[in-house]
Homo-oligomer: A and B are copies of this chain.
């Protein structure tokens, strides 16, 4: 038998098997509940209210944990009560959990919903000549159970007296942090949205979330408008140095980008600007600086000093974000000039410090950041990987778009390529580059020094492979597409050199951090690859070309846009926000260029294994 269940206040419906528990039904409706005791009816934390419908009789556990009055008023434990027919059930927002499914796989672990912006429903005792407390004291008194001492915005105080009396002393208090920002009569909670923004040097992504339920609503992305003044961080910083008001110009452009995608996301869901109470921001340190309008120039010259690495909470007007005027914009902390809030987001979202073994996390965009958790220490470093992995400065390099070679495999006597969309190959994207380099190494076409074989190919090389290697000296190249094409897609000697520089920078950082931690590669429990990079690159190829230290391939895991996931965690949970600050403060930044052994490590790391 199937029954229909609806969960309020979201109005989420699901048809589920009769006799399953409310928490199981919620799970099927993609509405995970927090079950601290694991659903054993021991903690009483999963209380829900049955608004209508028929459910099983209260269990022994429920009778123990709930008062007769609570049971009478429809209160039940979600892990105990079973559905016997159609039902409408109200779930308190505190019980929600954000799960993997909810965040399209971007989020790595579930957390309890506890956002900075909340809408709290209260019924107050009306005043009398014997209880002359002020309206604000009356409200704050009732809220003292759920929030620290409130500070009131004048705008909220200005509507307080009217709202209390219009609602007959039943109101919704809008709270952001410890500030009372609005009051509305009645019991209907207004829409309360949050956006997590991941400011990439190239792309900016916004995740729109319903903060009352923790449910993601939609996502929007756009190229960072700053791109018109430079493709990478360094050229943008240079722009600030060479243009009066350069910082303000770049700030304006990224705000234009962010406000654009926020408006797009809100529009998709039919929501208004005023519904948006919270925005969290991650990005590399330079992006963070430009977002806040801070001069990034000292990031680019020794000793590489940021203006600030702390977390900052900005008023919407200060930040320049179109949202509820008394909402809040939270910039996650950074660690150093080239280890940004994006890395903090990765460390936070992957829960690196609590995975039970030493973990290496690598986030590679235009810049690479490496984090190592081992022996109670969190070491982080940046490396100038350059844009090669993104296809820049590669002769046939291109973004991951239809026609890009994304995989190169050995097949029979030769190679087989796979393009995005199965179209005719027009170039190579990042994951294809990794594969291509790994394959030419396996085929012996490129030596461990990185040079294309100049004379004899290895014994047993098939004609199919041999015919792909063309040109002489510095123009040697390996054709990846059909060699009979008039203008085939190939990997050149120069391309391989670029890849060597890039992977060498990453590997040197990894090796130096391992050395500082006195850790052998095999002691690493996991190697986490963050970013698009981690989702698409073949770990076998990354190992083969020596960008990663020698670990069993199954320990290498892609974790998606963990930086964005970190911003999301900070959006939906104050505990995660605090954790981000702790992690950033605990991280030990290693300035690699300062180490005497850096040059040697870099030279070593450029060699292919």
Q: Which of chain B's residues have a CB closer than 8 A to the CB of A589?
A: 132
- Interface residue? A522 (CB, 8 A): no
Known: A130-B594, A132-B336, A303-B129. A137 touches B318 (CB 8 A): no
Q: Is the CB of B305 within 8 A of A152?
A: no
The digit string for A281-312, where 1 denotes a CB below 8 A from any CB of B, is: 00000000000111101100011111111101
- Interface residue? A579 (CB, 8 A): no
Residue in B132, B307, B312, B594 whose CB lies within 8 Å of A337: B132
Residue in B127, B303, B305 whose CB lies within 8 Å of A305: B127
A154 — nearest CB in chain B belongs to which residue?
A: B318
A303 — nearest CB in chain B belongs to which residue?
A: B129
- Interface residue? A158 (CB, 8 A): yes
Q: Which of chain B's residues have a CB closer than 8 A to the CB of A104?
A: none
The digit string for A142-167, where 1 denotes a CB below 8 A from any CB of B, is: 00000000001111011011100100
Q: Is the CB of B306 within 8 A of A591?
A: no
Q: Is the CB of A308 within 8 A of B137?
A: yes
- Interface residue? A239 (CB, 8 A): no
Q: Is the CB of A297 within 8 A of B161?
A: yes
Q: Is the CB of A307 within 8 A of B128?
A: no
- Interface residue? A242 (CB, 8 A): no
Q: Is the CB of B161 within 8 A of A307?
A: yes
- Interface residue? A536 (CB, 8 A): no
CA gap between A157 and B318 in the complex, in Å: 12
- Interface residue? A134 (CB, 8 A): yes
The digit string for A585-597, where 1 denotes a CB below 8 A from any CB of B, is: 0000101011000
Q: Is the CB of B127 within 8 A of A303?
A: yes
Known: A129-B594, A302-B129, A310-B137. A295 touches B162 (CB 8 A): yes
- Interface residue? A264 (CB, 8 A): no
- Range for the number of chain A residues in contact with chain B: 35 or more
CA gap between A429 and B598 in the complex, in Å: 88
- Interface residue? A543 (CB, 8 A): no
- A131 CB to closest chain B CB (Å) equals 8
- A301 CB to closest chain B CB (Å) equals 11
Q: Which of chain B's residues have a CB closer than 8 A to the CB of A298?
A: 135, 161, 165
- Interface residue? A136 (CB, 8 A): yes
Number of copies: 2
Q: Is the CB of A308 within 8 A of B594?
A: no
Known: A292-B154, A591-B129, A594-B129. A134 touches B303 (CB 8 A): no
- Interface residue? A314 (CB, 8 A): yes
Known: A134-B309, A303-B128, A303-B132. A157 touches B294 (CB 8 A): yes
Q: Which of chain B's residues have a CB closer than 8 A to the CB of A130?
A: 594
Q: Which of chain B's residues have a CB closer than 8 A to the CB of A131?
A: 303
Among A157, A297, A594, chain B packs the most CB atoms within 10 A around the CB of: A157
Q: Which of chain B's residues have a CB closer than 8 A to the CB of A308?
A: 134-137, 152, 157, 160
- A306 CB to closest chain B CB (Å) equals 4
CA gap between A304 and B132 in the complex, in Å: 7
Q: Which of chain B's residues have a CB closer than 8 A to the CB of A247?
A: 158
Residue in B134, B292, B293, B305 whose CB lies within 8 Å of A306: B134
Residue in B132, B157, B337, B591 whose CB lies within 8 Å of A591: B132
Q: Is the CB of B157 within 8 A of A307?
A: yes
- A412 CB to closest chain B CB (Å) equals 54
A132 — nearest CB in chain B belongs to which residue?
A: B303
- A305 CB to closest chain B CB (Å) equals 5
Q: Is the CB of B306 within 8 A of A135?
A: yes
- A585 CB to closest chain B CB (Å) equals 10
Q: Which of chain B's residues have a CB closer than 8 A to the CB of A591?
A: 129, 132
CA gap between A307 and B139 in the complex, in Å: 10
Q: Which of chain B's residues have a CB closer than 8 A to the CB of A594?
A: 129-130
Q: Which of chain B's residues have a CB closer than 8 A to the CB of A161?
A: 294-295, 297-298, 305, 307
A137 — nearest CB in chain B belongs to which residue?
A: B309
Q: Is the CB of B154 within 8 A of A305?
A: no
Q: Is the CB of B154 within 8 A of A312?
A: yes
CA gap between A319 and B154 in the complex, in Å: 8
Residue in B127, B303, B310 whose CB lies within 8 Å of A136: B310
CB proximity to B under 8 Å, residues A152-198? 152-155, 157-158, 160-162, 165
Among A131, A132, A247, A337, chain B packs the most CB atoms within 10 A around the CB of: A132
Q: Which of chain B's residues have a CB closer than 8 A to the CB of A337?
A: 132
In the complex, besides A128-B303, A129-B594, A158-B294, 9 extra interface pairs with C-beta distance below 8 angstroms are A131-B303, A134-B306, A134-B307, A135-B307, A136-B310, A154-B293, A157-B292, A157-B294, A160-B294
Query: Which A residues are closer than 8 A to B by beta carbons?
Result: 127-137, 152-155, 157-158, 160-162, 165, 247, 292-295, 297-298, 302-310, 312, 314, 318-319, 336-337, 589, 591, 593-594
Q: List 29 A-B contacts (CB under 8 A).
A: A127-B305, A129-B304, A129-B594, A132-B591, A134-B305, A134-B306, A134-B307, A134-B309, A135-B298, A135-B305, A135-B306, A135-B307, A136-B307, A136-B308, A136-B309, A136-B310, A137-B309, A137-B310, A152-B312, A154-B294, A154-B312, A154-B318, A158-B247, A158-B294, A158-B295, A160-B307, A161-B297, A161-B298, A161-B305
Q: List 8 A-B pairs, minimum CB-CB distance, nearest first.
A: A136-B308, A129-B303, A134-B306, A134-B309, A161-B295, A127-B305, A135-B307, A134-B308
